[in-house]
Amino acid sequence: MNQIKILLWDLDGTINDFLAMENYAIKKGFDRMNLGKCTDEMASRYSQINVSYWEKLEKCEMKKDQILVDRFKDFFAEYGLPEQNAVVFNRNYQLDLGDKLVFIDGALEVLQKIKESKKIRQFVVTNGLVANQKRKLEGQELKPIFEYAFISDEVGFEKPNIEFFNAVFQKIGDIPKNQVIIVGDSLTSDIKGGNNAGIKTCWFNSHKKKNNKGVQVDYEISELRQLPKILCI
Protein backbone atom coordinates (compact mmCIF):
# COMPACT_ATOMS: atom_id res chain seq x y z
CA MET A 1 0.00 0.00 0.00
CA ASN A 2 1.01 3.66 -0.24
CA GLN A 3 3.29 4.76 2.55
CA ILE A 4 1.16 5.74 5.53
CA LYS A 5 2.07 9.17 6.88
CA ILE A 6 -0.70 9.66 9.46
CA LEU A 7 -1.84 7.10 12.05
CA LEU A 8 -5.03 7.77 14.01
CA TRP A 9 -5.20 5.68 17.16
CA ASP A 10 -8.31 4.85 19.12
CA LEU A 11 -7.42 4.87 22.82
CA ASP A 12 -9.79 2.77 24.94
CA GLY A 13 -9.82 -0.88 23.92
CA THR A 14 -6.95 -0.42 21.48
CA ILE A 15 -4.07 1.09 23.47
CA ASN A 16 -5.65 1.08 26.91
CA ASP A 17 -7.23 -2.07 28.36
CA PHE A 18 -10.55 -0.37 28.94
CA LEU A 19 -12.29 -3.43 30.36
CA ALA A 20 -9.68 -3.66 33.11
CA MET A 21 -10.06 0.03 33.93
CA GLU A 22 -13.85 -0.19 33.75
CA ASN A 23 -13.82 -3.08 36.22
CA TYR A 24 -11.51 -1.13 38.54
CA ALA A 25 -13.54 2.09 38.38
CA ILE A 26 -16.96 0.58 38.93
CA LYS A 27 -15.81 -1.49 41.93
CA LYS A 28 -14.10 1.54 43.42
CA GLY A 29 -17.36 3.46 42.99
CA PHE A 30 -19.32 0.80 44.84
CA ASP A 31 -16.85 0.95 47.73
CA ARG A 32 -16.87 4.74 47.84
CA MET A 33 -20.66 4.98 47.98
CA ASN A 34 -21.16 1.97 50.26
CA LEU A 35 -23.32 0.15 47.71
CA GLY A 36 -22.16 -3.29 48.77
CA LYS A 37 -20.01 -5.70 46.77
CA CYS A 38 -19.82 -5.35 43.00
CA THR A 39 -19.14 -8.84 41.69
CA ASP A 40 -17.35 -9.65 38.43
CA GLU A 41 -20.71 -10.73 37.03
CA MET A 42 -22.21 -7.34 37.88
CA ALA A 43 -19.26 -5.50 36.36
CA SER A 44 -19.62 -7.58 33.20
CA ARG A 45 -23.33 -6.77 33.02
CA TYR A 46 -22.58 -3.06 33.39
CA SER A 47 -20.11 -3.35 30.52
CA GLN A 48 -22.85 -4.78 28.29
CA ILE A 49 -25.22 -1.96 29.20
CA ASN A 50 -22.49 0.60 28.63
CA VAL A 51 -21.70 -0.71 25.13
CA SER A 52 -25.37 -0.57 24.15
CA TYR A 53 -25.56 3.08 25.23
CA TRP A 54 -22.40 4.11 23.38
CA GLU A 55 -23.79 2.53 20.23
CA LYS A 56 -26.84 4.78 20.61
CA LEU A 57 -24.49 7.76 20.83
CA GLU A 58 -22.67 6.69 17.67
CA LYS A 59 -26.03 6.50 15.87
CA CYS A 60 -26.94 9.99 17.18
CA GLU A 61 -29.93 8.51 19.02
CA MET A 62 -28.93 10.01 22.37
CA LYS A 63 -26.80 12.84 23.70
CA LYS A 64 -23.63 12.06 25.62
CA ASP A 65 -24.75 13.73 28.85
CA GLN A 66 -27.85 11.54 28.82
CA ILE A 67 -26.12 8.23 28.22
CA LEU A 68 -23.53 8.84 30.94
CA VAL A 69 -26.23 8.90 33.60
CA ASP A 70 -28.89 6.66 32.08
CA ARG A 71 -26.53 3.69 31.73
CA PHE A 72 -26.04 3.69 35.50
CA LYS A 73 -29.75 4.18 36.15
CA ASP A 74 -30.45 1.03 34.11
CA PHE A 75 -27.66 -0.86 35.82
CA PHE A 76 -28.76 0.15 39.31
CA ALA A 77 -32.39 -0.69 38.50
CA GLU A 78 -31.43 -4.25 37.53
CA TYR A 79 -29.77 -4.81 40.89
CA GLY A 80 -32.27 -2.96 43.07
CA LEU A 81 -29.94 -0.05 43.84
CA PRO A 82 -31.07 3.58 44.23
CA GLU A 83 -31.20 5.17 40.78
CA GLN A 84 -30.72 8.65 42.27
CA ASN A 85 -27.09 7.69 42.89
CA ALA A 86 -26.41 7.64 39.13
CA VAL A 87 -25.29 11.26 38.73
CA VAL A 88 -22.76 11.23 41.55
CA PHE A 89 -21.62 7.72 40.72
CA ASN A 90 -20.91 8.70 37.11
CA ARG A 91 -18.96 11.78 38.17
CA ASN A 92 -16.67 9.73 40.38
CA TYR A 93 -16.47 6.93 37.83
CA GLN A 94 -15.12 9.31 35.16
CA LEU A 95 -12.34 10.45 37.46
CA ASP A 96 -11.47 6.90 38.50
CA LEU A 97 -11.13 5.82 34.86
CA GLY A 98 -8.23 8.23 34.55
CA ASP A 99 -6.40 6.96 37.64
CA LYS A 100 -3.97 4.88 35.64
CA LEU A 101 -3.30 3.40 32.22
CA VAL A 102 -3.36 -0.35 31.65
CA PHE A 103 -1.68 -1.06 28.33
CA ILE A 104 -2.97 -3.65 25.90
CA ASP A 105 -0.26 -6.26 25.30
CA GLY A 106 2.32 -4.86 22.89
CA ALA A 107 0.80 -1.37 22.75
CA LEU A 108 3.65 0.67 24.20
CA GLU A 109 6.25 -1.34 22.29
CA VAL A 110 4.49 -0.70 18.97
CA LEU A 111 3.85 2.97 19.71
CA GLN A 112 7.51 3.52 20.46
CA LYS A 113 8.66 1.58 17.40
CA ILE A 114 6.51 3.72 15.13
CA LYS A 115 7.71 6.88 16.85
CA GLU A 116 11.35 5.86 16.45
CA SER A 117 10.86 5.14 12.73
CA LYS A 118 10.21 8.88 12.19
CA LYS A 119 8.07 7.95 9.20
CA ILE A 120 4.58 8.29 10.65
CA ARG A 121 2.85 11.01 12.68
CA GLN A 122 0.65 9.57 15.43
CA PHE A 123 -2.57 11.07 16.81
CA VAL A 124 -5.29 9.93 19.21
CA VAL A 125 -8.96 9.97 18.17
CA THR A 126 -11.27 9.12 21.05
CA ASN A 127 -14.91 9.34 22.06
CA GLY A 128 -13.90 9.31 25.71
CA LEU A 129 -14.32 12.22 28.09
CA VAL A 130 -11.79 14.97 28.68
CA ALA A 131 -12.03 14.32 32.44
CA ASN A 132 -10.22 10.99 32.16
CA GLN A 133 -8.62 10.87 28.70
CA LYS A 134 -6.25 13.77 29.24
CA ARG A 135 -5.04 12.26 32.49
CA LYS A 136 -4.15 9.05 30.65
CA LEU A 137 -2.41 10.87 27.81
CA GLU A 138 -0.36 13.17 30.00
CA GLY A 139 1.53 10.26 31.54
CA GLN A 140 5.23 9.92 30.82
CA GLU A 141 4.73 6.90 28.55
CA LEU A 142 2.29 8.46 26.09
CA LYS A 143 3.01 12.19 26.20
CA PRO A 144 6.07 11.97 23.87
CA ILE A 145 4.29 9.70 21.38
CA PHE A 146 1.36 11.72 20.07
CA GLU A 147 1.32 15.05 18.30
CA TYR A 148 -2.25 15.74 19.38
CA ALA A 149 -5.30 14.07 20.89
CA PHE A 150 -8.74 14.63 19.36
CA ILE A 151 -11.27 14.09 22.15
CA SER A 152 -14.92 14.17 21.11
CA ASP A 153 -15.86 16.38 24.07
CA GLU A 154 -13.58 19.08 22.67
CA VAL A 155 -14.23 18.41 18.98
CA GLY A 156 -18.00 18.66 19.44
CA PHE A 157 -18.75 15.47 17.51
CA GLU A 158 -18.16 11.76 18.07
CA LYS A 159 -16.76 9.07 15.84
CA PRO A 160 -18.02 7.83 13.38
CA ASN A 161 -19.47 11.20 12.33
CA ILE A 162 -17.69 12.80 9.40
CA GLU A 163 -17.67 16.11 11.29
CA PHE A 164 -15.28 14.58 13.81
CA PHE A 165 -12.85 13.62 11.06
CA ASN A 166 -13.24 16.95 9.29
CA ALA A 167 -11.96 18.55 12.48
CA VAL A 168 -9.04 16.12 12.51
CA PHE A 169 -8.00 16.99 8.96
CA GLN A 170 -8.42 20.68 9.56
CA LYS A 171 -5.89 20.39 12.37
CA ILE A 172 -3.31 18.06 10.81
CA GLY A 173 -3.30 19.66 7.37
CA ASP A 174 -3.89 18.69 3.77
CA ILE A 175 -2.85 15.02 3.68
CA PRO A 176 -3.93 12.60 0.90
CA LYS A 177 -6.53 10.27 2.35
CA ASN A 178 -4.69 7.17 1.09
CA GLN A 179 -1.81 8.10 3.40
CA VAL A 180 -3.98 8.03 6.52
CA ILE A 181 -5.06 4.98 8.54
CA ILE A 182 -7.18 4.57 11.65
CA VAL A 183 -6.54 1.72 14.09
CA GLY A 184 -9.28 0.78 16.51
CA ASP A 185 -11.27 -2.03 18.11
CA SER A 186 -14.76 -0.73 17.34
CA LEU A 187 -16.41 -1.49 14.02
CA THR A 188 -19.20 1.01 14.65
CA SER A 189 -17.00 3.86 15.85
CA ASP A 190 -13.46 3.52 14.48
CA ILE A 191 -13.86 1.48 11.32
CA LYS A 192 -17.14 3.04 10.23
CA GLY A 193 -15.63 6.41 11.01
CA GLY A 194 -12.68 5.58 8.79
CA ASN A 195 -15.08 4.54 6.03
CA ASN A 196 -16.98 7.81 6.39
CA ALA A 197 -13.73 9.77 6.20
CA GLY A 198 -12.42 7.86 3.18
CA ILE A 199 -9.25 6.66 4.89
CA LYS A 200 -7.64 3.26 5.41
CA THR A 201 -8.85 1.16 8.32
CA CYS A 202 -7.22 -1.42 10.56
CA TRP A 203 -9.49 -3.35 12.89
CA PHE A 204 -7.82 -4.47 16.11
CA ASN A 205 -9.87 -7.61 16.65
CA SER A 206 -8.22 -9.29 19.62
CA HIS A 207 -11.35 -11.28 20.43
CA LYS A 208 -11.70 -12.52 16.84
CA LYS A 209 -15.24 -11.31 16.42
CA LYS A 210 -17.14 -11.47 13.15
CA ASN A 211 -17.62 -8.33 11.08
CA ASN A 212 -21.41 -8.19 11.11
CA LYS A 213 -21.75 -4.41 10.92
CA GLY A 214 -21.46 -3.99 7.15
CA VAL A 215 -18.32 -1.86 7.31
CA GLN A 216 -15.22 -2.15 5.13
CA VAL A 217 -12.10 -3.36 6.91
CA ASP A 218 -8.86 -2.87 4.98
CA TYR A 219 -6.65 -4.66 7.50
CA GLU A 220 -7.41 -6.85 10.48
CA ILE A 221 -5.04 -7.72 13.31
CA SER A 222 -5.49 -9.76 16.47
CA GLU A 223 -2.28 -8.48 18.08
CA LEU A 224 -0.85 -4.97 17.97
CA ARG A 225 2.60 -6.36 17.15
CA GLN A 226 1.21 -7.22 13.70
CA LEU A 227 0.77 -3.54 12.89
CA PRO A 228 4.36 -2.51 12.00
CA LYS A 229 4.44 -5.03 9.15
CA ILE A 230 1.29 -3.47 7.67
CA LEU A 231 2.90 -0.05 7.99
CA CYS A 232 6.14 -1.29 6.39
CA ILE A 233 8.33 -0.28 9.30
31 has catalytic annotation: no
Catalytic hit among 10, 12, 17, 185 = 10
Residue 149: in which H helix or E strand, if any?
Answer: strand 148-151
Tell me the H-state helices in 118-197: 130-137, 152-155, 162-172, 192-197
Q: Which residues pair with 124 in a beta bridge?
A: 9, 149
Q: How far apart are CA 3 and CA 115, in angstroms?
A: 15
Q: How far apart are CA 215 and CA 195, in angstroms?
A: 7
Q: Which residues pair with 16 in a beta bridge?
A: 12, 103
Q: How far apart are CA 5 and CA 20, in angstroms?
A: 31
Tell me if 129 sits within 8 A of 150, measured CB to CB: no
Residues 6+ apart with CB under 8 A from 74: 49
Q: Which residues pair with 182 in a beta bridge?
A: 8, 201
Q: Please state whether beta strands 6-9 and 180-184 pair in parallel, antiparallel, or not at all (unpaired).
A: parallel
Show which residues are catalytic: 10
